């Protein structure tokens, strides 16, 4: 199947938002999506974008059952590792179910790797839910390794309540 991978434009924001919501439904965590569309658009396509995206687009003749031509997304941002240098963090990679197995996920990941190399990044990092064995296998097949299992690193998070409490503590 023909498809194109390209940097997202502001005009793609509604499609990206749709795909991110589909991913949350797929991962059975849709109740955790509390961000509004307006916040999402501001954060990705406003004056100081906090993330970038790549989109996968198919020709009109191959559009989805619902009529969409943007069928995949890779949403990412840059970080820094004090041991390794510049890094890119892949927040989400999602391909609509009916387009899986066509190389679109591989195309998004490969294009992101090229972007990372152009930005002089030495690492591409991501998290995958334990229950998502299919995705873990996909990334492993492309050369990713499980840092938690191999190096005993753990991802920690302060949620909004914890963050507010911490911010209000005296220094």
The residues, any chain, with a CB within 8 Å of residue 65's CB and separated by 6 or more, are 98
Which residue of the set 37, 80, 94, 139 is catalytic? 139
Residues 30-46: b if buried by 16+ CB within 10 A, e if exposed: eeeeeeeeeebeeebbe
DSSP-based three-state secondary structure for 46: coil
Alpha helices in the chain, H assignment, sequence order? 13-26, 37-45, 104-118, 133-141, 147-151, 160-167
Residues 49-80: b if buried by 16+ CB within 10 A, e if exposed: eebbbbbbbbeeeeeeeeeebbbbbbbbbeee
- For this structure, is 139 an active site residue? yes
Give the span between the Cα atoms of 171 and 163, in whole angstroms: 14
Catalytic sites, residue numbers: 139
């Amino acid at each position: 199947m023909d498809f194109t991978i390209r940097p997202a434009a502001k005009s793609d924001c509604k499609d990206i938002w749709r795909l991110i919501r589909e991913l949350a439904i797929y991962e059975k965590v849709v109740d955790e999506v509390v961000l509004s569309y307006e916040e999402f658009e501001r954060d990705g396509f406003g004056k100081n974008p906090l993330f970038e995206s790549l989109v996968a687009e198919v020709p009109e003749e191959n559009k989805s059952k619902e009529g969409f031509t943007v069928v995949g997304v890779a949403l990412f941002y840059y970080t820094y590792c004090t041991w390794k240098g510049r890094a890119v963090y892949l927040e989400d990679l999602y391909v609509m179910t009916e387009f899986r197995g066509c190389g679109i996920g591989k195309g998004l990941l490969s294009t992101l790797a090229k972007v990372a190399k152009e930005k002089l990044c030495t690492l591409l990092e991501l998290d995958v839910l334990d229950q998502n064995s299919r995705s873990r296998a996909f990334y492993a097949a492309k050369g990713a390794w499980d840092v938690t299992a191999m190096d005993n690193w753990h991802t920690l998070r302060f949620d909004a309540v914890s963050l507010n409490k911490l911010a209000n503590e005296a220094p």
